[in-house]
């Protein structure tokens, strides 16, 4: 059975009390802007749907995520949490969470690979009945190293595009042995979090990190999925000239029809001022591109993993490397050009020193879906076999309705005649 001696954050900080106070302050601010989780939390407090359950989570441990964690704990669960990226954790929030009697938090900022996985194992040692992932690291570690726990796991939920992509690959191989909801794929998540959240927070993080303007810049957005669309749209809104690179013909065409320049990365490399990768794939910006870039360019990644920009190749090319600013590494090439990499090529909206992740409002939506997915998985576990599952549409609608009510937005509903019309095939001309 699993055994872990990795300590929770409270045992790793010098001044835990101060950290907890500051973490709680950040959480209070976030909570004020999360009406969906507030609503769901009240329901969970009354119904205690998670009594006796153990929920394991690997997510970006900051204030908004902390509100989700508390919401699940307030529903009666024992929750064990760690980070899903070594640079996105806020230690103070981690400490505030760890103070909750039903929560153990292992997340710590700046951990190396070994500590990162030790913390994941510490979470798994709680022998979860439910997993909540952002990037699928928990599912992977459980299947690879602790398969004996799978029988006790009712199911899981996955937050992000990359995690869902990995899960589907695992499912196609017949290797996924418990059910997992693809939270990312719901309209309430990806039309808001991926588009507006990634767009706003990536651009804001880059601007804050560099103190440079978007206006008049050539901004190269690699990938025109939901995240790329958001980044492109917001960059255009900041008066940048947006160039899109794509490998999928319909998306390339979509970007073209949206009015962006579309070209291969090999050409974009020559003219770009800022490069932002959002593909979820590896080796998007590589040596041949570095060779052509102008002096002073900014390179950043908004995809889940730090594999989109080939930093090893850049390091090999460079004759010098230094920290130009907090969160900016300048790689100086032999001919004197400096290529500036932000946040070590890790997802820039969470990993740059000033980053705060997506805006609170969109995370309220994504985490609202997460919370009702955990409820659904436990309430109706018989309905979900091992594999990736779409989130039932009613759950997604439930979250949209809570949000609309909180915003005071009223909307129409179908009349009986309209409903009949939409459900029939025999009304012609
Ligand atoms: N994300 N989380 C935050 N907690 O501040 N910001 C973004 C936060 C999630 C987002 O839902 C995305 O799918 C994922 O991070 C990528 O790792």
Q: Are 30 and 66 in contact (CB under 8 A)?
A: yes
pLDDT band for position 264 (cuts 50, 70, 90): very high
User: What is the pTM (predicted TM-score) of this model?
Assistant: 0.96
The yes-or-no verdict on residue 429 having pLDDT over 80 is: no
166 within 8 A of 156, measured Cβ to Cβ: no
Question: Atom of ligand 1 at shortest distance to CA of 160?
Answer: 13
Do the domains at 9-189+359-407 and 196-351 have one common CATH topology? yes
State the pLDDT at residue 246.
98
In the sheet with 338-342, reading across from the earlier edge strand, the strands are 261-262, 241-245, 218-222, 274-277, 298-301, 338-342, 328-333, 318-325
Q: Is 161's pLDDT higher than 60?
A: yes
Cα–Cα–Cα angle for 190, 393, 154, rounded to 5 degrees: 90
- Say yes or no to pLDDT of 394 above 80: yes
Q: Separation of 366 CA from ligand 1 center, angstroms? A: 9
Split at pLDDT 50, 70, 90, the class of 316 is very high
State whether the beta carbon of 158 lies less than 6 angstroms from ligand 1: no
- Nearest C-alpha neighbor of 301 from the set 327, 275, 272: 275
pLDDT digits (tens, 9 = 90+) for 206-248: 999 999 999 999 999 999 999 999 999 999 999 999 999 999 9
pLDDT by residue (tens digit) across 74-118?
999 999 999 999 999 999 999 999 999 999 999 999 999 999 999
Characterize the bridge pairing of strands 338-342 and 387-389. Answer: unpaired
Span 58-67, pLDDT tens digits: 999 999 999 9
The response to whether 47 counts as a known ligand-binding position is no
Q: Is there an atom of ligand 1 within 6 Å of 350 CB? A: yes
Distance between Cα 288 and ligand 1 center (Å) = 31
> CATH assignment of 196-351?
3.40.50.720
Beta carbons within 8 Å of 101's beta carbon, 6+ residues apart = none
- pLDDT score, position 404: 98
Say whether 417 counts as a known binding-site residue: no
pLDDT digits (tens, 9 = 90+) for 20-51: 999 999 999 999 999 999 999 999 999 999 99
Question: How confident is residue 174, by pLDDT bands cut at 50, 70 and 90?
Answer: very high
4 pLDDT tier (thresholds 50, 70, 90): confident
Q: Would you say 162 is a known binding-site residue?
A: yes
Report how far ligand 1's centroid is from the alpha carbon of 287 (Å).
Answer: 29
Domain ranges of the chain: 9-189+359-407, 196-351
pLDDT of residue 337: 98
* Average pLDDT of span 128-139: 98
The CATH number of 9-189+359-407 is: 3.40.50.1480
Ligand 1 pocket member 357 (CB < 6 A): yes
User: Which pLDDT band, with edges at 50, 70 and 90, does 1 fall under?
Assistant: very low
Q: Express each pLDDT in 341-355 by its tens digit.
A: 999 999 999 999 999
Q: State the pLDDT at residue 3.
A: 64
Pairing state of beta strands 338-342 and 298-301? Answer: parallel
Cβ of 363 less than 6 Å from ligand 1 = yes
Computed over every residue of the chain, the mean pLDDT equals: 97
Closest CA to 185 of 395, 43, 428: 395
CA-based radius of gyration for the chain? 22
In the block, tokens 């990226």 appear at: 85
Kindly state if the Cβ of 73 falls inside 6 Å of ligand 1: no
164: pLDDT confidence band, cut at 50, 70 and 90? very high
Q: Is the CB of 284 under 6 A from ligand 1?
A: no
Q: Say if residue 198's pLDDT is above 80.
A: yes
């Amino acid at each position: 059975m699993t055994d872990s001696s990795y300590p929770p954050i409270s045992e790793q900080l010098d001044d835990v009390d101060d950290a907890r106070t500051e973490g709680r302050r950040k959480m209070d601010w976030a909570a004020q802007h999360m009406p969906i989780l507030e609503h769901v939390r009240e329901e969970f407090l009354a119904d205690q749907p998670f009594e006796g359950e153990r929920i394991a989570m690997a997510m970006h441990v900051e204030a908004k995520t902390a509100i989700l964690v508390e919401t699940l704990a307030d529903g009666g669960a024992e929750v064990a949490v760690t980070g899903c990226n070594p640079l996105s954790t806020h230690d103070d929030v981690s400490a505030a969470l760890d103070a909750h009697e039903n929560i153990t938090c292992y997340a710590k900022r700046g951990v190396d690979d070994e500590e990162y996985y030790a913390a994941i194992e510490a979470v798994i040692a709680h022998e979860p009945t439910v997993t909540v992932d952002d990037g699928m690291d928990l599912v992977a570690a459980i299947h690879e190293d602790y398969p004996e726990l799978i029988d006790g796991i009712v199911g899981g939920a996955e937050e992000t595009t990359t995690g869902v992509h990995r899960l589907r690959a695992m499912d196609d191989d017949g290797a996924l042995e418990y059910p997992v909801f693809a939270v990312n794929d719901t309209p309430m998540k990806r039309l808001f979090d991926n588009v507006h959240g990634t767009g706003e927070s990536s651009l804001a993080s880059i601007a804050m990190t560099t103190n440079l303007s978007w206006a008049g810049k050539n901004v190269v957005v690699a990938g025109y999925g939901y995240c790329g669309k958001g980044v492109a749209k917001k960059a255009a809104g900041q008066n940048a000239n947006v160039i899109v690179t794509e490998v999928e013909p319909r998306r390339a065409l979509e970007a073209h029809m949206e009015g962006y320049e579309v070209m291969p990365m090999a050409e974009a490399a020559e003219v770009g001022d800022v490069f932002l990768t959002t593909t979820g794939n590896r080796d998007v910006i590589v040596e041949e591109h570095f060779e052509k870039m102008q002096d002073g360019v900014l390179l950043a990644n908004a995809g889940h993993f730090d594999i989109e920009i080939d930093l090893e190749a850049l390091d090999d090319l460079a004759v010098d490397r230094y920290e130009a600013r907090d969160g900016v590494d300048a790689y100086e090439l032999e001919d004197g050009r400096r290529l500036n990499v932000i946040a070590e090529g890790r997802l820039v909206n969470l990993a740059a020193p000033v980053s705060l992740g997506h805006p609170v409002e969109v995370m309220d939506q994504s985490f609202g879906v997460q919370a009702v997915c955990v409820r659904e998985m436990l309430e109706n576990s018989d309905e979900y076999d091992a594999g990736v599952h779409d989130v039932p549409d009613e759950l997604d609608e439930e979250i949209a309705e809570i949000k609309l009510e909180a915003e005071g937005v009223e909307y129409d509903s179908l009349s009986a005649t309209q409903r009949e019309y939409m459900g029939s095939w025999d009304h012609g001309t």
